Chain A
Amino acid sequence: MDEYYEQLVRGGIAPRRARRLLTEFDDHRADIVRERLELGESERDAQAAADERLGRVQDFVIRNLARPELKSFSARRPWAAFAVAPLLAFAASLLAAGAAIYFLLGFYSHVAPWNAASRSSQTVAAAATLFILWIAPFVAAASVAIMAVGRRRTLIWPIIGIALISFLASLINFQITLPVGYVQGSIGGGIGISSDPAKLASILAFTAARAAPVLALLMWLHSRRAQTAVE
């Protein structure tokens, strides 16, 4: 059934639906065979009856592919599924992560020493910054890559989506200032672009640095999938 699953997914049917369609077909066939065996037919005749009633799996696949309404959202609107929606989801998740970090650090400052001299405070602040600026964009962009390869889509829109997420992440400013003595600490975040060529070059360099590992992952997953399909 792997071959037919590949055909359905490549034709734009969502992996979950493709699996379900093939399972239902298989179960239906088994039910027909059982029914005929119970009527006293031989295994061979029962199999032939199932083939006659259900037809070939290939025809079943073609019938499903002929229905545009069964195609997934990502097949019908790849630009939205792999570029616009992930970018918006990433922006929303950044806001949520920023708020979560604010509240978690507030809680942390009550249970452990929270100042610039404390090693653990420095580690927590560095980890939160690393998460916002590098880990969250990587996870968001990698999700686009994994989803695109899983759905056997062409790579153009996922590449654009990964580039947009990496670019947005490079526009973000996020810093945690730890308290020193009586001077209170702060958490700051924002987004901005500069017309200064040096800063612009730095933004593009960071975009490339963020996008490169995810694009490498995308290419690796894609080539592995292609290899599996050939085998």
Chain B
Amino acid sequence: MTSALMSGVSELLLLNLLAEREMYGYELARAIRTTTREAIAVGESVLYPTLHTLEQRGWLRAKRRVVAGRTRVYYSVTSAGKRRLALMNREWRRIADGVHAALGASHG
């Protein structure tokens, strides 16, 4: 898979997971592994540059919170991020349908 496509996938996954509830980095890495049944491994050190980029673009909001004596940076999706997620979801479905159709045609 090309890195550009993977970058789009990780962006989609992060926005999708954070739209459900706010999470901190380690929690997100675990959630990605669990929800994708380990099919997709977003490199854990790539996670933070991606989260900061999404925050910089205004799609995520970061908030420090003290939990069990430790300060964590929790990320949540902004309203601009929700719009971006809706757009990416539509795009992703369009591409996935196209790929399914092409695979179906070549196997059928």
Contact = CB atoms under 8 A, between A and B. Distances in A.
Interface of A: 17, 20-21, 23-25, 27-28, 31-32, 53-55, 59-60, 63-64, 66-67, 69-70
Contact of A70 (B43, B47, B52): B52
Given A24-B25, A28-B29, A31-B26, A64 B52 contact: yes
Contacts, number: 52
Given A24-B25, A24-B73, A31-B26, A69 B48 contact: no
A contacts with B: majority SS: helix
* Those 10 A-B pairs whose CB atoms lie nearest each other, nearest first: A31-B26, A55-B45, A60-B45, A64-B49, A28-B26, A54-B45, A63-B49, A53-B44, A54-B44, A69-B56
A25 B57 contact: no
Given A59-B45, A67-B49, 20 more contacts: A20-B73, A21-B52, A23-B71, A24-B48, A24-B73, A25-B45, A27-B24, A27-B70, A28-B25, A28-B29, A55-B43, A60-B45, A64-B48, A64-B49, A64-B52, A67-B53, A69-B53, A69-B57, A70-B52, A70-B53
Contacts of B105: none
Contacts of B46: 63
25 contacts: A17-B52, A20-B73, A23-B73, A24-B25, A24-B48, A24-B73, A27-B24, A27-B26, A27-B72, A28-B25, A28-B29, A28-B44, A28-B48, A31-B26, A32-B26, A32-B44, A53-B44, A54-B44, A59-B45, A63-B45, A63-B46, A63-B49, A69-B53, A69-B56, A70-B49
Interface string B25-58: 1100100000000000001111111001100110
